[in-house]
Amino acid sequence: MIPPDENAEFVYRMEDVLALYREPYDSHFPMICFDESNKQLIKETHRPLAAKPGQLRRYDYEYERNGTRNLFLFFEPLTGWRHVKVTQRRTKRDWAYCMKQLVDEFYPEAKRIRVVLDNLNTHTPAALYETFEAAEARRLIEKLEFHYTPKHGSWLNMAEIEFSVLTRQCLDRRIPDAETLQQEIAVWEQARNACGTSTKWQFTTDDARTKLAQLYPLIHD
């Protein structure tokens, strides 16, 4: 539920993201959806029983927790490119280095990179100043343009759709350690990028004003 006094902020951020999604592809101004998630690492305590005709491979109900890893996902819907970065943590510093990688490694020729992301306290331009020298932080900020999804509106980020695919196709099983996790994700990423699989966003501003009309503030003369 969205508190009534937050409706205007929700509508503003929603329409800002939806307007960005309508814009045509421009290599000088790429649009990247960014999100993060995590994966629990689980080791088997007993060797699984091999699959047989008519019977799937079977796993023992006992397992050993082996920590977690954070997943940062970059997704460019208009080109069908994505990259998943596996890290131990999800701090401001980790996020700042993701933005530096976006600018310097993935899109060095871009004039400005429009980034759609949720409004976590780690996702702020100030985090760049906390991580890098002032001149470097300023250089990165001048190449980045942040478009935040509204609170309670993370569904507006197309990176969530890509995370859902990653979970279904790659992460819906026990993965024992960070090295295996990285390898499995890299194979998934390479195959999906090779296909150029993109997301066709259907929900528009007109749809929002009709279907979510109750969220729009009433204006009185």
- Domain assignment present for 221: no
DSSP codes of every residue in the chain: ---GGGHHHHHHHHHHHHHHHHSPP-TTS-EEEEEEEEEEEEEESSPPBPPBTTB--B--S-EEEEEEEEEEEEEETTTTEEEEEEES---HHHHHHHHHHIIIII-TT-S-EEEEE---TTSSHHHHHHHS-HHHHHHHHTTEEEEEPPTT-GGG-HHHHHHHHHIIIIISS---SHHHHHHHHHHHHHHHHHHT--------HHHHHHHTGGGSPPP--
What pLDDT is attached to residue 48? 58
Would residue 219 count as lying in a domain? no
Instruction: Tell me which residue range forms the domain holding 165.
Output: 4-42+63-212
Q: What CATH number did the domain enclosing 207 receive? A: 3.30.420.10
Other CB atoms closer than 10 Å to residue 178's CB: what's the count?
Answer: 17
Q: How many CB atoms lie within 10 A of CB 96?
A: 23
Average pLDDT over residues 27-40: 96
Residue 55 within any structural domain of the chain: no
pLDDT-derived band at 62, boundaries 50, 70, 90: low
pLDDT band of residue 219 (cuts 50, 70, 90) is: confident
* pLDDT exceeds cutoff 60 at 58: no
pLDDT bucket at 220, cuts 50 / 70 / 90: confident
Residues 32-39, mean pLDDT to the nearest whole number: 96
Highest mean pLDDT among 21-25, 48-52, 60-64: 21-25
Domain tally, the chain? 1
Is the confidence at residue 64, as pLDDT, over 90? no
Query: Is 218 within the bounds of a domain?
Result: no
The whole-number pLDDT of residue 2 equals: 63
Separation CA 170–CA 32 (nearest Å): 22
Confirm whether 49 is domain-assigned.
Answer: no
Which residues have C-beta within 8 Å of that of residue 20, sequence separation ≥ 6? 31, 114, 116, 147
pTM reported for the whole predicted model: 0.87
Residue 157 lies in a domain: yes
Handedness of CA 203, 147, 120, 150 (dihedral sign): negative
Mean residue pLDDT across the chain: 91
Q: Is the dihedral of CA 174, 36, 151, 213 positive or negative?
A: negative
Is the pLDDT assigned to residue 1 strictly greater than 60? no
Query: Could you tell me the CA-to-CA distances from 54 to 50, 51, 126, 173, 213 in Å, in that order?
Result: 12, 8, 57, 20, 52
Percent of the chain scored above 70 by pLDDT? 88
Whether 90 has a pLDDT exceeding 60, the answer reads: yes
Give the model's confidence band at 218: pLDDT under 50 very low, under 70 low, under 90 confident, else very high.
confident
Position 158 in a domain: yes
Is position 58 within any domain? no
Which tens digits make up the pLDDT trace of 118-142? Answer: 988 999 999 999 999 999 999 999 9
